[in-house]
Structure 1
Amino acid sequence: MVQHRFGVPLMVGSMLLICIFMFVYPQASLNAALRGLSIWWDVLFPSLFPFFVISEVLLGFGIVHFIGTLLDPLMKPLFRIPGSGGFVAAMGYASGYPVGAKLTAKLWEQKLVNREEAERLVAFTTSSDPIFLIGAVSVGFFHNPKVASILALAHYGGGLMVGLIMRFHGSKSSKPQSKADRIHGKGRLRIAFYQMHQARIQDGRGLGQLLSQAINSSLQLIIVVGGLVVFFSVILEVLTQARLMSLLYSLIHGMLQMAGLPSALSEPIVGGLFEVTLGARFAGEAGSSIPLQYKVAAAAFILSWGGLSVHAQITSILNHTNLRYLPFMVARFIHAIISAILTFLLWDAVMGKDYNTVFSAPAWKTYPLTGWSMNMFSLNYRILIYILFMLLFISFIIHCFRRIRLFIKSANRK
């Protein structure tokens, strides 16, 4: 009751203040809105929309149930989530935020995961996509393609570590075994086909209806994503113009000095707290006096945190579920810290000692949506296939070891 009493007036007052700032700084607001719209149209729409549609269709045809049954031996022991979470992880890491959250919400709707499993899943499958990490950040912002290797290791490696940490989230009681675990007389592949068939029957939609609904729901979601990107881009710009960000800059400045880090990184970190693209760009454009590894570590921190714009996207997707925001926020912060630490730990091995080279290359958004950019889009799909193949192979090896162990135990009993 107290939260409702003070929360609503605070929200209304904040929105009124933003409106006043937009009236006082109209040109800055317009430029920020156009910048956010450009990011959505040039990068987010072409990279996310196909994955949204494909994921809906695969769920309707039961492919996720098929892959989930095959991935149970890997995902349950490591991350305490069903095998279908492996498909979500592959899609999330290949296509970036907020695809992992969208698929997690779909699994929750179909009762394939409970609340705690879904919170674990969305916590470590929310990541940047390879197009943005390699093309925009490494080549465009840092003008250095070699930065992509250390950023990828720190960001995606940190995400997997968060997944291992999040396995301790929730109650200790284990979920009842799946049908694939209970039935030993039939092969797992046969059970996977059976689960896919049952899911297809239960869905019941024809191809035309399934594709039409997938496109409709994906368009609604991608428009929400674009609106949030524009909204937070404008908020950050008007608050900066009104000099209300100075207090936050001073706070981050002091914290960086206490940690022995360059205080000039306060601008990219503050920008990244709100919007990941702006923060990563500020990190790449930071002063030349700052060692490159510190700027890359700041970018890794920003990519893993995701920015409040991404947080708002995730919250809007999970709004109709019973998933809580706090575990996700804590996981994002842990991921950000781990990624920054991994950047420093792996720097010498990946980049070499005293590496501080900056290449001269055009800004990322000057690349056309053909040629190089289209190759980057195809890279996402190749990465998705590679990740799924790797997960399925590891799961198959684990399943074989389990069957051998059960065979040895039964032989010893005889």
Structure 2
Amino acid sequence: MAKTVTLAILSILLVVAIILQPDAAFQASLQGLTVWWNIVFPGLLPFLVLFEMITAFGLAHAIGAILQPLMKRLFKLPGESALAIVLGWMGGYPTGAEAVASLRKRNLVTKQQGQRLLALTHMPNPLFMLVVIGAGFLHKPIAGSIIAAAVWLSALWLILLTTLWSRNETGQSPAADKPGGSLLGRAADALRLGREQDGRSFGKALGDAVSASFQKLMMIGGFMIFAAVLAKLSEPLFDPLLRDFGLGFITQAFFESHLGAYAAAIWDAPGTGTLVNAAAIAAVLAWSGLSGILQAGYAISGTDLKLLPFVLLRTVHAAHAALFMLLLWKPATSLLRIVLEPGPGAMPATAPADSFVPNSAVGVKTADLPSLWPYSITGSLLIAVIGITLALMLLPYRRAGKSH
């Protein structure tokens, strides 16, 4: 009852705020829509469709069988979780959460494994970090690479720590692979079993994948626009206090990571510079914003996975990502100065913030957002080619299994 009343009061306050500030709410919703259309839609659609197709044709089961030993030893997770990690890291949030929810619903991971896997797969889109932030926001592609490395390495470090604390887990999923036979033989059996369990034709599976992916993208767009409006309407409450401490970007960062990353890129408080801005961006991306957290919460609805432990891990990951950025910056830039010749992609060890971003910018502009379609399609096609190659390699083993 108390929760319902609280949500009702907050909803009424939001409606009142929109009525009092219609122009601000409209501009914020347009900004959220711009980010969704230029970044999230092209960055996620191919990977969401691909995940549905890989699952429908049993490739997820085959990959799980092949990677079962590695995932058990390293993360105490079943082999099927490897595909969720790959798709989450390549597609961005909430692709990883969708994959983890699918594994949990099929009872391929335990609840404890699912919680850890959810934290590991909830990653920002690599194209956003490498292309949009590096080339678009900072105008330094190499800076985007270092930020991505800080986010990824801190995630691996954090999940390894949580794995060490999970000593009581055996690493065995509820639907563990049957022992015996060669590795490729078990993968072929898993491929056949997964295909038989699904049973849809190629056309039916493709149509369902496209339809489900578009519905998920509409949901993601709604969350992003909602978070962008909340961030804008909250500025009069929080910005004066935050600006006194030189932390004006935090309001945007708390609600929406893409807008928060842009705000962190143009952050020009006294004492900030390239390194400080990059560390702030890494923390914002690791946090993922209220929008990203709500997207993950929506994805895991219908499972027994909890959102609160996930939020706590997002907070810890944000702190670790900023720390890793500070630790990686000097060795990475020193190495890159040796490897790369001076040019438009070179990154100096230190530079003032206004040397690489326009401080006059007040919002994300379409001109600041490079098209992600070529990169996203190329990445998804690469995964598809690897999957098809794997399926062809397993064909002889499937025939051998049938002959017995």
Shift of 1:151: 0.2
Q: TM-score, normalised by structure 1?
A: 0.82
One-letter identity of the residue aligned with 2:328: L
CA shift for structure 1 position 167: 1.7
2:19 aligned partner, one-letter code: F
Contact 2:77 2:172 in 1 (8 A): no
The yes-or-no answer on 1:69 pairing with 2:62 is no
Q: Is 1:228 aligned to residue 233 of structure 2?
A: no
Alignment partners' CA distance in 2, 1:383 and 1:339? 28
Quickly say closer, same or farther: Cα 1:368–1:81, change in 2 above 3 A.
closer
Does structure 1 residue 112 correspond to structure 2 residue 120? no
Residue 137 of structure 1: CA displacement?
A: 1.6
Distance 1:288 1:234 in 2: 24
Unpaired runs of 5+ in structure 1? 254-262, 393-414
Counterparts of residues 253-332 of structure 1 (less than 5 Å): 263-264=245-246, 266-287=247-268, 289=270, 290-332=272-314
2:242 to 241, 249, 273: 249
Tell me the equivalent position of 2:179.
Answer: 182
Q: Using a 3 Å threshold, how does the CA distance of structure 1 residues 169 and 21 change in structure 2: closer, same or farther?
A: farther
The verdict on how the C-alpha distance between 1:29 and 1:85 changes in structure 2, with shifts beyond 3 A counting, is same
Match of 1:237 in 2: 232
Match of 1:97, SS?
coil
SS state at 1:201 partner: helix
Provide the C-alpha distance between the structure 2 equivalents of 1:136 and 1:76, rounded to a whole number of angstroms: 35
For the Cα contact (< 8 Å) 2:88–2:122, is it kept in 1? yes
Give the structure 1 partner of residue 132 of structure 2: 136
Pair 385,338 (structure 1): closer, same or farther in 2 beyond 3 Å: farther
Question: Partners of 1:88 and 1:42 in 2: how far apart?
Answer: 24
Whether the aligned pair in 2 keeps the contact of 1:95 and 1:380 (CA below 8 Å) is no
- Asked if residue 88 in structure 1 is aligned to residue 84 in structure 2, the reply is yes
Residue 131 of structure 1 contacts residue 376 of structure 1 at CA under 8 Å; is this kept in 2?
yes
Find the aligned partners of 1:291 and 1:154 in 2 and give their Cα distance: 17
8 A Cα contact 1:105 1:321, kept in partner: yes
Q: Percentage identity across aligned positions?
A: 29
Kept in 2, the 8 Å contact 1:32–1:234? The answer is yes
Distance 1:152 1:69, change over 3 A: same
TM-score if structure 2 supplies the norm length? 0.84
Q: 1:6-405 alignment to 2 at 5 Å?
A: 6-168=2-164, 172-174=168-170, 176=172, 180=177, 182-183=179-180, 186-240=181-235, 243-246=236-239, 249=242, 263-264=245-246, 266-287=247-268, 289=270, 290-352=272-334, 354-356=349-351, 358-359=355-356, 365-366=366-367, 373-378=372-377, 380-381=379-380
TM-fit CA distance, 1:387: 11
Residue type of the alignment partner of 1:43: I
* Distance change (3 Å), C-alpha of 1:291 and 1:179: closer
Q: Shift in Å at residue 214 of structure 1? A: 1.5
Does the 8 Å contact 1:141/1:364 carry over to 2?
no
Aligned with 1:340: secondary structure? helix
Equivalent residue letter for 2:251: V
* 2:114–2:305 contact (8 Å) kept in structure 1: yes
Is the partner of 1:244 in helix, strand or coil?
Answer: helix
Q: 1:100 to 1:368 in 2, by over 3 A?
A: closer
Aligned-pair CA distance for 1:179: 5.7
CA–CA distance in 2 between the matches of 1:387 and 1:155? 26
Q: Is the 8 A contact 2:130 2:141 kept in 1?
A: yes
Instruction: Deviation per CA, 1:126-185: give whole Å up to 9, x if none.
Output: 1111211022222222222221121011011111112212324657142557765621xx
Please give the alpha-carbon distance, in whole angstroms, between the structure 2 residues aligned to 1:179 and 1:48. 30
1:354/1:280 CA distance change after superposition, 3 Å: same
- 1:190 CA drift (Å): 0.8
After TM superposition, give the deviation of residue 99 of structure 1 in Å: 0.4
Between the aligned partners of 1:366 and 1:379, the Cα distance in structure 2 is 22
Alpha-carbon offset, residue 270 of structure 1: 3.0
Which whole-Å CA distance do the structure 2 matches of 1:222 and 1:345 have between them? 36
Whether contact under 8 Å (1:300, 1:339) holds in the other structure is: yes
Matches of 1:81 and 1:175, distance apart in 2:
5
Task: Compute the displacement of 1:87 (Å).
Answer: 1.0
Corresponding position of 1:408: none
Q: Secondary structure at the match of 1:128?
A: coil
Residue 366 of structure 1 aligns with an amino acid whose one-letter code is A
After superposition, the CA RMSD in angstroms is 2.6
CA distance in 1, matches of 2:153, 2:318: 11
Separation in structure 2 between the aligned mates of residue 73 and residue 365 of structure 1, nearest angstrom: 45
Pairwise CA distance, 1:306: 0.3
Q: 1:91–1:384: 8 Å Cα contact kept in structure 2?
A: no
Gaps of 5+ in 2: 335-347, 391-404
Q: Distance in 1 between matches of 2:357 and 2:275?
A: 18
In the TM superposition, what is the alpha-carbon distance from 1:382 to its structure 2 partner? 7.4
Amino acid at match of 1:158: S
CA distance in 2, matches of 1:169, 1:216: 40
Q: Provide the rounded CA distance (Å) in 1 between the counterparts of 2:119 and 2:56.
A: 24
The Cα offsets for residues 82-113 of structure 1, whole Å up to 9 and x where unpaired, read as 11111111111111111000011111122211
Question: Are the aligned partners of 1:135 and 1:364 in contact in 2 as well (CA < 8 Å)?
Answer: no
